[in-house]
């Protein structure tokens, strides 16, 4: 019988900067599907694969970095952990903290946080503190708490987060048998683009992959500090997971872009929501709004004639659509298309079968 997937630390332990003394706190994260998209492949006249990170235990890629951050925090004797979050970091942190018996402290910005994500943190038993400020204020606060009190900070400024998240690149290369020509993903606090690039570079340097991809990152137009080259004090977008005006890994994201010969651009909320819906309707993959930013970016680039034909392209879709149903459903006029009596002929008529 094939061995079941064991989680990213056991699977990739030799690529981790810590030894066997760190026991894995795991929920079996990683090992997510890499799904070929006939729809996108035809549009770009290449081969497009979607890395479905919503299939992680708490529904986003954050679990990859949380298993490493929490495992190391436990090994170092932490009793409590803190994070600033637009939702998914706290959903993930609280789950792994629950498993490890740590006290989770969550700082969320005032205003929009998707209800599904908050439900996760509540059910995992977190203390949730809402801050009168934005995400960037929450991150400053978390840093301050971790500096002055005995709590471990597990935002992506914690290097262990990056170490766990880089395993997504390993999986892509392991499945494709090579690195893609181009990797596309959303950019918020910019930890993930940093992590993917680190993973691709490590596999390349070790000779596992003969090449490295270009990295294309996409921010939301209302919160695109890297594209604009300046901090955005009041970031605004429906894609709450990337509503970040001053990314912690700003310079590292620029390095990933420049070393790979890639780009970081922005897409509008309209493009994001359209891509979200198209991905759901064409491929059966329901992602949250932020997760569709990469798809929206690739579609826009293809439209502008900026994607050479014949490429192997991978796109990370970062989180599950069920986390935030209010945003897409608020755009759907009426859920019910037709009401009928319980009658076969009437159903066939309504369904356009006759």
Q: How far apart are CA 134 and CA 252, in angstroms?
A: 22
C-beta separation of 319 from 288 below 8 A: yes
Least distance in angstroms from the C-beta of 194 to ligand PLP: 7
Q: Considering only CA atoms, which of 299, 266, 300 is closest in space to residue 282?
A: 299
Which listed range, 186-194, 259-267, 272-280, 345-353, lies at the site for ligand PLP (CB under 6 A)? Answer: 186-194
Which listed range, 99-107, 182-190, 256-264, 336-344, lies at the site for ligand PLP (CB under 6 A)? Answer: 182-190
Q: Give Cα 319 to chain centroid, integer Å.
A: 5
Helix (H, G, I), strand (E, B) or coil at 307: coil
Least distance in angstroms from the C-beta of 62 to ligand PLP: 6
Q: Give strand pairing partners of 103.
A: 80
Three state DSSP letters for 239-271: CHHHCCCCCCCHHHHHHHHHHHCCEEEEECHHH
Least distance in angstroms from the C-beta of 229 to ligand PLP: 17
Site membership for ligand PLP, residue 93 (CB under 6 A): no
Helix (H, G, I), strand (E, B) or coil at 217: strand
- Judged by CB under 6 A, which of 37, 120, 158, 189 binds ligand PLP? 189
For residue 95, what are the CA distances in angstroms to 50, 63, 144, 145, 159? 26, 9, 23, 21, 20
Nearest residue to ligand PLP on Cβ basis: 319
Site membership for ligand PLP, residue 318 (CB under 6 A): yes
Q: Give strand pairing partners of 263.
A: 216
Which listed range, 22-30, 143-151, 188-196, 278-286, lies at the site for ligand PLP (CB under 6 A)? Answer: 188-196
User: DSSP readout, 126-147?
Assistant: -EEEEESS-HHHHHHHHHHHHH
Measured N-to-C along each axis, helices 191-205 and 250-260 cross at an angle, to the nearest 10 degrees, of 40
Site membership for ligand PLP, residue 190 (CB under 6 A): yes
Site membership for ligand PLP, residue 169 (CB under 6 A): no
Site membership for ligand PLP, residue 186 (CB under 6 A): yes
Site membership for ligand PLP, residue 324 (CB under 6 A): no
Site membership for ligand PLP, residue 321 (CB under 6 A): no
Q: How far apart are CA 64 and CA 292, in angstroms?
A: 19
- Judged by CB under 6 A, which of 26, 58, 67, 88 binds ligand PLP? 88
Least distance in angstroms from the C-beta of 44 to ligand PLP: 22
Site membership for ligand PLP, residue 219 (CB under 6 A): no
Nearer to ligand PLP, 133 or 178 (CB): 133
Least distance in angstroms from the C-beta of 318 to ligand PLP: 3
Q: How far apart are CA 42 and CA 44, in angstroms?
A: 6
Count residues binding ligand PLP (CB under 6 A): 18
Binding site for ligand PLP (CB under 6 A): 60, 62, 88, 156, 186-192, 241-242, 288, 290-291, 318-319
């Amino acid at each position: 019988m094939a061995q079941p997937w064991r989680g990213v630390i056991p699977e990739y332990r030799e690529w981790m900067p810590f030894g066997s003394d760190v026991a894995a706190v795991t929920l079996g994260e990683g090992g997510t599907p890499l799904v070929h998209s006939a729809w996108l492949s035809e549009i770009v006249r290449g081969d497009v694969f979607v890395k479905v990170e919503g299939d992680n235990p708490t529904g986003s890629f954050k679990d990859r970095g949380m298993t490493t951050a929490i495992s190391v925090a436990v090994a170092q004797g932490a009793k409590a952990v803190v994070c600033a979050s637009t939702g998914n970091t706290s959903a993930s942190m609280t789950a792994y903290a629950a498993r490890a018996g740590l006290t989770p402290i969550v700082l969320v910005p005032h205003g929009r946080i998707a209800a599904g994500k908050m439900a996760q943190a509540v059910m995992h038993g977190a203390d949730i503190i809402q801050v009168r400020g934005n995400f960037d204020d929450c991150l400053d606060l978390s840093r301050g708490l971790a500096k002055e009190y005995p709590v471990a900070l597990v935002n992506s400024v914690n290097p262990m987060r990056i170490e766990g998240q880089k395993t997504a690149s390993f999986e892509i290369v392991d499945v494709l048998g090579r690195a893609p020509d181009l990797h596309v993903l959303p950019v918020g606090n910019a930890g993930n683009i940093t992590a993917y690039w680190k993973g691709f570079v490590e596999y390349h340097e070790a000779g596992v992959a003969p090449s490295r991809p270009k990295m294309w990152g996409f921010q939301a137009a209302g919160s695109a500090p890297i594209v604009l080259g300046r901090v955005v004090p009041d970031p605004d977008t429906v894609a709450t997971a990337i509503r970040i005006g001053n990314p912690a890994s700003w310079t590292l994201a620029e390095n990933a872009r420049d070393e790979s010969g890639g780009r970081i651009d922005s897409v509008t909320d309209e493009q994001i929501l359209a891509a979200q819906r198209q991905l759901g309707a064409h491929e059966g993959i329901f992602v949250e709004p932020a997760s569709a930013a990469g798809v929206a970016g690739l579609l826009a680039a293809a439209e502008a004639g900026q994607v050479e034909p014949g490429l192997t392209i991978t796109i990370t879709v970062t989180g599950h659509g069920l986390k935030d149903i209010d945003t897409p459903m608020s755009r759907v006029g009426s859920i019910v298309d037709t009401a009928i009596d319980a009658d076969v002929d009437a159903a066939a008529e309504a369904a356009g079968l006759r």
